[in-house]
A and B are shown apart, each in its own frame.
Chain A
Amino acid sequence: MMFVVRRLLLTIPILLLVSILTFSLIHMIPGDPARVILGQEATPEAYQALRTELGLDKPIVVQYFSWLGKVVTGDLGMSITDRIPVSELIKQRLPATVELTIGTFLVAILIAFPAGILAATRRGTWIDYTSTFTALGGMSIPSFWLAMMMIIYFAVENQWLPSSGYVSFFENPTQNLLAMILPCVATGLRESAVLMRMLRSSLLDVVNMDFIRTAKAKGLNEARTILGHALRNAMVPVVTTSGLMIAGLLGGLVITESIFSIPGFGRLIVESVFKRDYVTVQGAILVSAVLVVIVNLAVDILYAVIDPRIKSGKGAGE
């Protein structure tokens, strides 16, 4: 467990670095929040008053440390535009994105695993070509286009599924699940293609290894050879890809969220950047960095489970 502790300690400088970067980047974007909030109605006096109120007239270093001081005590501050604690905003927005991420990932593995295994074991046959072709297609189709087509077909033309209308699972499970189908499939399809390609090539590498030949020589049937031996060994790159994928999805579902009108985390960040809601952007990105760190940690632990050769030592790559 030393490995886990070491990794956890390492997250502190990472998060600190993230906070500094976020803070300087958002302040580097031209256009200050007071201006954006006031819009064309700004009078010089109102503008100055708002800047003072928001603390924007203080030097940036002072602003950073007063923010950091609060963050350390668990206070992410008050949203500049919404006057709601940032932690509250994040609490409102994170569940939808987490659900969407899990759903997307489920769709992706449900398609990628059977398809990847089939393509690898039937290499060079029409099955391989079909799934490779479909995967390439899936990677090339922009997800917003696919999402729109799915809305038109499933929601507008046939009204089988809702075109939007996210509600929390705990409020109305049926409506929640119905509303999640299209967005999860629209993004999951694309992600499945990436995963399937990865699984296929990594399986192909493994099937040609000696231990598989041995297993086959010992008379194990193909299904057991692949599922029991090869797959486990082919999992390391797949887990890496999955980890990156999940980490990416947690902050990167903006387009899906905006098309299906899901109040998610990605949209919160993007909207806050547009509104120059510094405090919310900083808080949200910090939380998102924490999530990425956690996912990465989980991936590293999974490595060790899948492949005991990867231990706390040097193999544990950052």
Chain B
Amino acid sequence: MFSKKASKTLMSAVLGTMLLVTGCGGGGSAAPSTEGGNAAAPAPSTGKKVINIGLKADPPSMDPNISTSLYDRQVYASLYDKLFEIDPSGKVVPMLAESYEVTPDGKTYTFKLKQGVKFHDGTEFDAEAVKFNFERNMTDAKSKRKGDMKFVDSVAVVDKNTVKVQMKEPFAPFLSILADRGGTMVSPAAVKQYGDQYLNHPVGTGPFVFVEQVKGDHVTLKKNENYWNGAPKVDEVTYKVFTNGTAKVQNLRSGMLDIIDDTPVKEIPAVKGDSNLTLTAESGWGYQGLYLNNSRAPFDNKYLRQAVDAAIDREALVKVLFNGYAAPARTAFAKGSLAYNEALNTPVAPDAAKIKDLLAQGGQPNGFSFKLYITSSPENEQLGAVLQNMWKQHGINATLEKLEYGQLLETGEKGEFDALQLGWSGRQDPDQNFHDFVVTGQSNNDGRITLPKLDELVLKARSEVDETKRKAMYEEATKLLQDEAGYSYMYHQFVLIGMNKKISGFTYVPDGLIRTATLDKQ
């Protein structure tokens, strides 16, 4: 036996550690401290004002020329300016462009540029810089912006502050593209200096200047004192990666994060229940739905596609899966889009008799079976299961098969599927949410939709300058697509931004990106 004293000490040590560890110790006061007394979240000792933003995934590239990720765009909103910007109502407005003119044939754009704007490295922003950026996007071997720029024929410097862009053919979404990565201005001097490594030394004209990026962890930016639109109110913005949504919300609650880009639906009650936090919930521009393979059985049969589409109870789906934090959809165009039409987008409740009828017309009166590919995430599995149950009531049997995202894309592209769940994150211009997905032979038309009349309408709409006429074309095309059930739209996802009440100056913009230039922190 140990001596009594020794064993007592040992025991209390063990039990003490265990209690501490399991959190049963501690003297009881569980009241969350409210004002600033945040001893655990160490504010930087220098008294700098820092805004910490939680991102769902790592932004892979700080170079807009090669970016393909949504998370990059969040950081770009602080680091870079674009020729055009999206305003809170969702419209395209000039940003680094002071004004612009388009010839009536839609083929020549003249941009007048803002004067006195400088890149973070001191390079002047002028017509030469714009020409450089356009040409880099159009011709650089690694450029992922070639698609954006494919209708640009040439770019000419008229004078120091004027640029003229000649198009090969009129392309209505052009300004919208210039309000995104395609129009993001990077410093020509920095590109020349760093070459391939530019993505690790990004230089823009934005409200914040790049400091460092630790891959997979954070991106730090500091205030641009000389910002043309007035210096930002905070000293630093840090983007931190939280792959675990619940942990991200808990970090928002604990004060380690000030803003989160996306709130998991199951965590919404936690955010709404916390008196220190606010939630912005708005319908984004994206959509989710099902590719039905129009080119092979069973979905080369129009009636069977219609039956599957008609059996989806979109209202119920949105309630069950998102607790109402998503908008039921029947078109590619969400609220705020030029082509949005409430009547066309309003969900239709499933009608058993009609579905039965469709099945009979499709030659499968007793129902049929097909395979649905989904990505392997808990949310998607839930979605798959709900859909499965909705179809089952009408004798339609879907088997679910999970694929990893990269594999899902490949399967979609090869067209080796019956049905496949894949949506789109959404863009400002209707064309960017529609053309590539429904026009014959286009890169994202995984469902092999071939409707000559629809092709004609969509192609005409992209060169039409008159917005009213464009809207009418998209509506007609949408009706055609709905009648054919070529793609089955299900819902528009919401942008769910959680924020601490200490943050002020936030304005929601429908592209869902967090603009930091105007933010302040108490």
B14–A111 CB distance below 8 A: yes
Proximity string of chain A (89-133) to chain B, C-beta cutoff 8 Å, 1 when within and 0 when not: 100110000000000000100110011011001000001000100
Q: Which residues of B contact A161 (CB under 8 A)?
A: 40
The reply to whether A30 and B200 form a contact with Cβ atoms under 8 Å apart is no
When chains A and B are docked, how far (Å) is the Cα of A131 from the Cα of B15?
9
A-facing mask of B51-85, CB < 8 A → 1, else 0? 00000001011000000110000000000000000
**B348 at interface by CB-CB < 8 Å:** no
B343 interface residue, CB < 8 Å from A? no
B2 / chain A contacts, CB cutoff of 8 Å: 121, 222-223
Q: Is the CB of A46 within 8 A of B444?
A: no
Chain B positions 400-430 with a Cβ under 8 Å from a chain A Cβ:
403-410, 413, 422, 424
**B146 and A164 within 8 A (CB):** no
| Min C-beta distance of A136 to chain B, whole Å | 13
In the complex, the chain A residue whose C-beta lies closest to that of B409 is A35
B410 contacts A118, C-beta separation under 8 Å: no
Judge whether A153 is part of the interface by a CB distance below 8 angstroms.
Answer: yes
Considering the complex, give the chain B residue whose CB is closest to the CB of A107.
Answer: B21
Q: Give the residue among A33, A83, A84, A121 with the most B Cβ atoms within 10 A.
A: A83
- Asked if A197 is at the interface (CB within 8 A of a chain B CB), the reply is no
Across the interface, B10 reaches (CB within 8 A) one of A118, A178, A189, A221, namely: A118
What's the least CB distance linking A110 to chain B, in Å? 7
Q: Is B353 interfacial (CB-CB < 8 Å)?
A: no
Determine whether the beta carbon of B42 is less than 8 Å from that of A92. no
Given B1, B38, B147, which contacts A46 in the complex, CB threshold below 8 Å? B147
Whether A142 sits at the interface, judged by CB under 8 Å, is no
Query: How far in angstroms is the closest Cβ of chain B from A4?
Result: 36
Q: Which chain B residues (340-398) contact chain A, with CB distance < 8 Å?
A: none
Please, how many angstroms separate the alpha-carbon atoms of A50 and B32 in the complex?
Answer: 51
Interface residues of A in 31-66 (CB under 8 A from B): 31-33, 35-46, 49-50, 53
Segment of B103-111, B227-235, B253-261 engaged in the interface with chain A: B253-261
Which residues of chain B have C-beta atoms less than 8 A from A40's C-beta? 409, 422, 424, 444
Asked whether A83 lies within 8 Å of B199 as measured between CB atoms, the reply is yes
A164 engages B68 (CB within 8 Å)? no
How far does the alpha carbon of A149 sit from the alpha carbon of B23 in the complex, in Å? 9
Assuming the contacts A46-B147, A149-B23, A259-B247, asked whether A178 and B404 have C-beta atoms less than 8 A apart, the reply is no
Contacts A149-B23, A157-B30, A166-B217; is A260 near B424 (CB within 8 Å)?
A: no
- Chain B residues within an 8 Å CB radius of A150: 23
Residues on the A chain within 8 Å of B144, using CB: 38, 41, 46
Shortest distance in angstroms between B132's beta carbon and chain A's nearest beta carbon? 21
Bound state CA distance, A35 and B144, in angstroms? 13
Interface string of A199-243 (1 = CB under 8 A from B): 000000000000000000000011100000000000000000000
Interface size on B, residues (CB 8 A): 70
- Assess A43 versus B217: contact at CB under 8 Å? Given A31-B405, A127-B11, A260-B247: no
Known: A155-B250, A163-B250. A267 touches B407 (CB 8 A): no
CB nearest neighbor in B for A280: B215
B41 A30 Cβ-Cβ under 8 A: no
* Interface residue A268 (Cβ < 8 Å from any Cβ of B): yes
A162 pairs with B40, CB closer than 8 A: yes
Does A259 contact B244, Cβ atoms closer than 8 Å? yes
| Complex-state Cα separation, A29 to B247, whole angstroms | 29
Contact status B30-A158, CB under 8 Å: yes
| Contact assessment for A159 and B33 in the assembled complex, using a CB-CB cutoff below 8 Å | yes
B69 proximity list for chain A (CB < 8 A):
39
Q: How far is the CB of B193 from the nearest CB of chain A, in Å?
A: 16
Q: Which residues of A contact B147 (CB under 8 A)?
A: 41, 43, 46
> Could you tell me if A114 and B14 are in contact, using CB atoms closer than 8 angstroms?
yes
Residues of B within 8 A of A118 (CB): 7, 10-11, 14
Compute how far the CA of A150 lies from the CA of B23 in the bound complex, rounded to whole angstroms.
Answer: 7
Most central of A30, A159, A276 by chain B CB within 10 Å: A159
Is the CB–CB distance between A49 and B141 below 8 Å?
A: yes
Residues of A within 8 A of B406 (CB): 30-33, 35-36, 276
A231 to chain B, nearest CB (A): 13
Q: For residue A163, which residue of chain B has the nearest CB? A: B254
Q: Is B480 an interface residue (CB 8 A)?
A: no
Name, among A33, A46, A164, the residue most crowded by chain B CB atoms within 10 Å (CB to CB): A164
Alpha-carbon distance between A174 and B196 when the two chains are bound, in angstroms: 38
Q: How many Å from the CB of A149 to the closest CB on chain B?
A: 7
> Is B504 an interface position by the 8 A CB rule?
no
A148 pairs with B247, CB closer than 8 A: yes
Measured between alpha carbons, how far is A70 from B10 in the docked complex, in Å? 54
**From B412, which residue of chain A is reached at the shortest CB distance?**
A40
B503 CB, min distance to chain A CBs, angstroms: 18
Q: Is A134 an interface residue (CB 8 A)?
A: yes
- Residues A148 and B250 in contact in the complex (CB < 8 Å), given A39-B68, A154-B23, A261-B240: yes
A14 interfacial contact with B, CB 8 Å: no
Are the C-beta atoms of B200 and A84 separated by less than 8 Å?
A: yes
- Of residues 230 to 276 in B, which have CB atoms within 8 Å of A's CB atoms? 240-244, 246-247, 250-251, 253-256
Q: Tell me if B479 counts as interface (CB < 8 A to partner A).
A: no
Is the CB–CB distance between B68 and A38 below 8 Å? yes
Bound complex: CA of A277 vs CA of B413, how far in Å? 21
- Docked-complex contact B443 and A43, CB < 8 angstroms: yes
- State whether B254 touches A159 (Cβ < 8 A): yes
Residue of A nearest to B241 (CB): A261
Asked if B255 and A159 make an inter-chain contact with CB atoms under 8 angstroms apart, the answer reads yes
Is A298 among interface residues, defined by CB-CB distance under 8 A?
Answer: no
Contact of B254 among A93, A162, A223, A276 (CB under 8 A): A162
Distance of A208 Cα from B110 Cα, bound (Å): 93
Q: Is B197 an interface residue (CB 8 A)?
A: yes
Q: Which residues of A contact B197 (CB under 8 A)?
A: 83
| CB–CB A37/B68 < 8 A | yes
**Residue in chain A with minimal CB distance to B39:** A159
Residues of the A chain whose Cβ atoms lie less than 8 Å from the Cβ of B214: 92, 263
A164 engages B247 (CB within 8 Å): yes
Tell whether B3 is near chain A: CB-to-CB under 8 Å.
yes
- Judged by a CB distance under 8 angstroms, whether A151 is at the interface is yes
What distance in Å separates the Cβ of A31 from its nearest Cβ neighbour in chain B? 3
Chain A nearest CB, measured from B150 CB (Å): 9
Which of A160, A165, A258 sits near B244, CB closer than 8 Å? A258
State the Cβ distance, B182 to closest chain A Cβ, in Å.
Answer: 12
Partner of A84 from B38, B215, B253 at Cβ < 8 Å: B215
Judging by beta carbons under 8 Å apart, are A157 and B18 in contact? no
Q: Output the least CB separation between B244 and chain A (Å).
A: 5
Name A164's contact: one of B251, B407, B410, B424 (CB within 8 Å): B251
Q: Determine whether the beta carbon of A221 is less than 8 Å from that of B3.
A: yes
Q: Which of A149, A261, A263 contacts B247 (CB 8 A)?
A: A261
Closest beta carbon of chain A to B495's beta carbon, Å: 19
Interchain residue pairs A-B with the least CB separation, the first 9: A31-B406, A263-B217, A36-B406, A31-B407, A163-B254, A155-B254, A30-B407, A259-B247, A159-B40
User: A43-B147, A162-B256 are known contacts; what are 14 more A-B pairs with Cβ within 8 Å?
Assistant: A31-B407, A39-B69, A41-B144, A49-B141, A82-B215, A111-B21, A151-B250, A156-B253, A158-B26, A159-B33, A164-B256, A174-B42, A258-B244, A261-B251
**Can you list 9 A-B contacts (CB < 8 A)?**
A29-B404, A40-B409, A43-B146, A83-B200, A111-B17, A118-B11, A159-B40, A163-B40, A222-B1
